[in-house]
Amino acid sequence: MKEIHTMSNRRLPPLYPLRAFEATARKLSFTLAAAELSISQSAVSHQVRTLESYFGVPLFYRARGTIRLTAEGRRVFNACESAFNDLAQIGTDLPDSELRDTLTLSSPPLIFNWWLLPRLGEFSRIYPNIRFRFQHLICGTPVHCADADIALLWDGGIADGFVGANMFDMKYYPVASPRLAASLPASLEPEVLERTTLLHEVDHSGWARWLAQERFPEQLATSGWVFEDPGMLIEAAVAGQGIALGPFPLLDELVSAGRLVRLHQSAIESPDSYYMTVSTRSLSKPGIKLFWNWFGQHGLPPFNTLMADAEKATG
């Protein structure tokens, strides 16, 4: 391998303070720089002062809540801007398949197992150098922007420090295993439900809504098995233990694979939905743009829209 020669006595400025200085100089605001970097304003100010101590000169004029670059600050900023642009251009010039990145993705098990995982295989074949670290996220549990690059959330909003979009609306249809479905009459009448085990998620309210919509006796919903974990409920349905209200489009793959059968064309809709969200601190990662654009085929807005939302959120 060809040896790369460098000056052994070369002394570089501290890199984290350089990053804080560059953001502050570009926005001429400690507050906006802190929001962009997802750190506190005091941390940005401290890092800028560290850089000023390193060079031995002030880099900003500070007066009455405003700042502007000194002559030395302008020189440092021009060098930072040139170097950062050159590094960014290297990433732009590389073929997508050669870009390297590691993304931390937090997701509830249900959407991860039955919707995301089947689609990640194709993504990884196209972008083999994008690697993942997966985290188990319980629905409703807060997620912090410092802990995840991507978070799939099941609720009515987007967490602080994230930007994102609604992935799809959820509809729940009665489903059963092929063997159980073959033993049932073609029409899902009340007497059929009465002698079949109903599988419930958390409580009986889902089946109660479905029965009321079909004008079937709602007391039928009080029987059956109740599951705290929706993943366990789906596994029970696949195993032929009863009829569940299955979330779609999450279960499209299971139906296509012949592991579940949709028993009825009527569905109930959920007021909540899954959101695909990205930490604002991770938007500059090359893998994030590739990931977002890949899943854009499932209805997500363009990545530029995500960036614009981030700009609004920070200021």
127-136: pLDDT as tens digits: 888 899 999 8
Q: The pTM is what?
A: 0.63
Find out whether 168 and 273 touch, Cβ atoms under 8 Å. yes
Specify whether 39 is located in the same domain as 19. Answer: yes
By the 8 A CB rule, do 208 and 245 touch?
A: no
232 and 142 part of one domain: yes
Peptide bond into 249 cis (omega under 30): yes
Q: Is residue 70 in some structural domain? A: yes
Task: Tell me, letter by letter, the H, E, C secondary structure of 82-116.
Answer: HHHHHHHHHHHHCCHHHCCEEEEEEECHHHHHHHH
- Domain count along the chain: 2
Token output for 109: 């098990």
In tens, the pLDDT along 8-65 reads: 455 778 878 888 899 999 999 999 988 888 788 888 899 999 999 999 999 999 988 8
More confident residue, 94 or 242: 242
Query: What CATH number did the domain enclosing 225 receive?
Result: 3.40.190.290
In a domain, 2, yes or no: no
